[in-house]
Structure 1
Amino acid sequence: MTGRANVLRGAAVFGAATVLLAGCGSPSERADEGGGDDDVVTLKVGATPMPHAEILEFVNDELAAEAGLAIEVVEYTDYNQPNAALVEGELDANYYQTVPFLEEYQQGNTDADLEYVSNVHLEAFGLYSEEFSDLAELPEGAEIGVPNDVSNMGRALNLLDANDVITLAEDAGDNATESDIEENPLDVTLTPVEAAQLPRSLEDLDAAVVNGNYALEADLAENANVLSWEETEGSVYGNGLVVRAQDAESEEIERLDELLHSPQVSDFMEERWQGVVIPMGGMRDDED
């Protein structure tokens, strides 16, 4: 999930009454500073544009005011920036990542005390091709693009393994790397590409494993053939809300988490993305 420079497209805060974000204080501290119970607390949430930012904007438009919240959405196309911004106190939360991605980030940033609050939705990875319409058509020596960051490459390799394009070592796990490939019967070439660039690179590749959000942004379901979807049942790749550990039990964060799991949001996801974005429950899979 590495990416290019972040694109900050701060969405306007909807609703009349808001409390402006003050420094690096927690949401609860800002609520205390605001005074009365009728004050609206603004939460600044980092997200990738689709579907995360759209979901947050729906929450802000339709549900947040009654919960005493306003959501200011800050959009990023660089997967590395939202966690850094959260650590620095520039955000109150972010919503764009999976548990494996957060774990990888924290291994490389040991001072980052971040906590994954809950799964909100799942976007299935897909193996796409502009040239071929069936997985069986992939030729020997095919060049397949995969995301170049650790957690997403592992996810892509596991999809290819599940479809017998390659065979991974039994202990490869979620963060498998190319060194875990034990068999490559088609002698495919795996080309690591920045995740956000994979849809654009597809015309130069025989196929590519693409993140769900980038496939949606590029409308790949209309412009390319889906050769295979990853298995979603029991997936560890839910996308969820992440906060600084000190804010994990904040009343405002808990309210936002409840809104993200509301029936209205589930209906919005299902109607907007027709099963590509799948609502999930509030618990992490390893706690189910």
Structure 2
Amino acid sequence: MKKNILRTCALTAALILGLTACGGSGKTETKKADAESAVSTEGEETAAGGESTASREEVTVRIGLTGAIYEEIWNPIAEELKDEGINIELVQFSDFSLPNAALASGDIEMNAFQHHAYFENEVETKGYDISAIGDTFVIAMNLYSDKISDVSELKDGDTIAIPGDASNGGRALKLLESAGIIKLKDDAGANPEVSDIETYNVQVEFIEADASNIYSMLPDVTAAVINGNYALDCGIDPQEDGIFFEKEYDDDSYFCLIAVRSEDKDDPVYQRIVEAFQSESTKQVFQDVFKGFFVPAWE
């Protein structure tokens, strides 16, 4: 891959790191009473009907993301909902470990960055009282390399970088199993670890790192498993630059989702945001901007 792509990625990472995890200055409180009035007023049309009323109070909803590419999806939704009194503020986080903590603590009202496997592991291990309220898309995790063009070129002693967290690391190992590089134990479960590898068909060495940093490691490893959002953020063409691709999904483990605090899961404003996301307009963005690499997960 070309050096200018790496420079672009470094600039993107620097910009993201410059943003705060609390959604900017002037914290906006979003109370349930305000949320309900933003969607419907007794005896008037609801926000789902696309009409505004003079008596409706505006509400701001901060949504946590982990990559600038997601703004391409959310900006049109934000424009649509603004007319209904729902102001969406997009809050960027530098890595996967931050948005659920920010949601649980009330620094944001929603997040939309993770798949079910990651979400369930976070809830189980960290005890967050948060809930998934709608699926968004599937974005593939593929294998990339600056040094080889096919997995058949891997040899003993080569290094492969994979995400170090439980769910994304497990997903990476499943990808490498489907590529024929390793064989996992039958009882490895949904989120296998390196210790769950039964057989190495090629004696590779795994290097575990934060998912957001793996692209920068490409020059120093033989290959790397990179989350699709980071790959796209760094200018990688997922179809042309990958050497092995994730296949069909047999469950919803890697469907991305929208999450809120559990106490707010039935909030009509948040349900309206999910409705606006799960639309034909969003599907068109997937096709036009991401060339179909994002696939709707709600169908």
How does the TM-score come out when normalised to structure 2? 0.82
Match of 1:71 among 88, 99, 103: 88
Matched, 1:205 2:221: yes
Matches within 5 A, 1:185-264: 185-221=201-237, 225-235=241-251, 236-264=253-281
Could you report, residue by residue, the CA deviation over 1:225-269 in whole angstroms, capped at 9, with x for unpaired residues?
Answer: 311111233342011100001111100001000011010011011
Q: Which residue of 2 aligns with 1:123?
A: 139
Q: SS where residue 146 of structure 1 aligns?
A: strand
Could you report, residue by residue, the CA deviation over 1:68-123 in whole angstroms, capped at 9, with x for unpaired residues?
Answer: 3110111112211111111111111001011111111112222x210011210111
Distance of 2:126 and 2:107 partners within structure 1: 17
Q: SS where residue 207 of structure 2 aligns?
A: strand
The worse-fitting range, judged by mean Cα deviation, of 150-159 and 49-58 is: 49-58
- Over 3 Å counting, the alpha-carbon distance change for 1:181 and 1:93 in structure 2 is same
The answer (yes or no) to whether the contact 2:145–2:243 under 8 Å persists in 1 is yes
Amino acid aligned to 1:79: F
> CA offset at residue 223 of structure 1?
11
> CA offset at residue 37 of structure 1?
4.2
The answer (yes or no) to whether the contact 1:21–1:43 under 8 Å persists in 2 is no
The worse-fitting range, judged by mean Cα deviation, of 222-231 and 67-76 is: 222-231
Amino acid aligned to 1:81: L
**What percentage of residue pairs aligned between the two structures are identical?**
28
Q: Which residue of 1 aligns with 2:163?
A: 147
Could you report, residue by residue, the CA deviation over 1:22-49 in whole angstroms, capped at 9, with x for unpaired residues?
Answer: 43x44x3334688964333211111112
- Over 3 Å counting, the alpha-carbon distance change for 1:10 and 1:54 in structure 2 is farther
Match of 2:63 among 40, 45, 48: 45
- Over 3 Å counting, the alpha-carbon distance change for 1:81 and 1:186 in structure 2 is same
The answer (yes or no) to whether the contact 1:10–1:75 under 8 Å persists in 2 is no
Distance of 2:23 and 2:126 partners within structure 1: 28
Distance of 1:187 and 1:6 partners within structure 2: 40
How does the TM-score come out when normalised to structure 1? 0.85
Could you report, residue by residue, the CA deviation over 1:203-238 in whole angstroms, capped at 9, with x for unpaired residues?
Answer: 101000000000001122289831111123334201
Q: SS where residue 272 of structure 1 aligns?
A: helix
Which ranges in structure 2 are unaligned for 5 or more consecutive residues? 1-12, 42-53
Distance of 1:193 and 1:100 partners within structure 2: 18
- Over 3 Å counting, the alpha-carbon distance change for 1:6 and 1:93 in structure 2 is farther
The answer (yes or no) to whether the contact 2:133–2:265 under 8 Å persists in 1 is yes
Q: SS where residue 221 of structure 1 aligns?
A: coil
Q: Which residue of 2 aligns with 1:7?
A: 19
Amino acid aligned to 1:237: Y
Matches within 5 A, 1:15-54: 22-23=28-29, 25-26=30-31, 28-31=32-35, 37-54=55-72
Amino acid aligned to 2:110: A
Distance of 1:234 and 1:122 partners within structure 2: 12
> CA offset at residue 174 of structure 1?
2.1
Q: How many residues align?
A: 269
Distance of 1:279 and 1:220 partners within structure 2: 21
Q: SS where residue 143 of structure 2 aligns?
A: strand
- Over 3 Å counting, the alpha-carbon distance change for 1:183 and 1:254 in structure 2 is same
Matches within 5 A, 1:178-189: 178-189=194-205
Q: SS where residue 214 of structure 2 aligns?
A: helix
Q: Which residue of 2 aligns with 1:160?
A: 176
The answer (yes or no) to whether the contact 1:6–1:78 under 8 Å persists in 2 is no
Runs of 4 or more consecutive aligned structure 1 residues displaced over 4 Å after TM superposition: 3-6, 9-12, 32-37
> CA offset at residue 52 of structure 1?
2.5
Q: SS where residue 216 of structure 1 aligns?
A: helix
Which ranges in structure 1 are unaligned for 5 or more consecutive residues? 13-19, 283-288
The worse-fitting range, judged by mean Cα deviation, of 214-223 and 170-179 is: 214-223
> CA offset at residue 5 of structure 1?
6.4
- Over 3 Å counting, the alpha-carbon distance change for 1:32 and 1:220 in structure 2 is closer
The worse-fitting range, judged by mean Cα deviation, of 82-91 and 134-143 is: 134-143
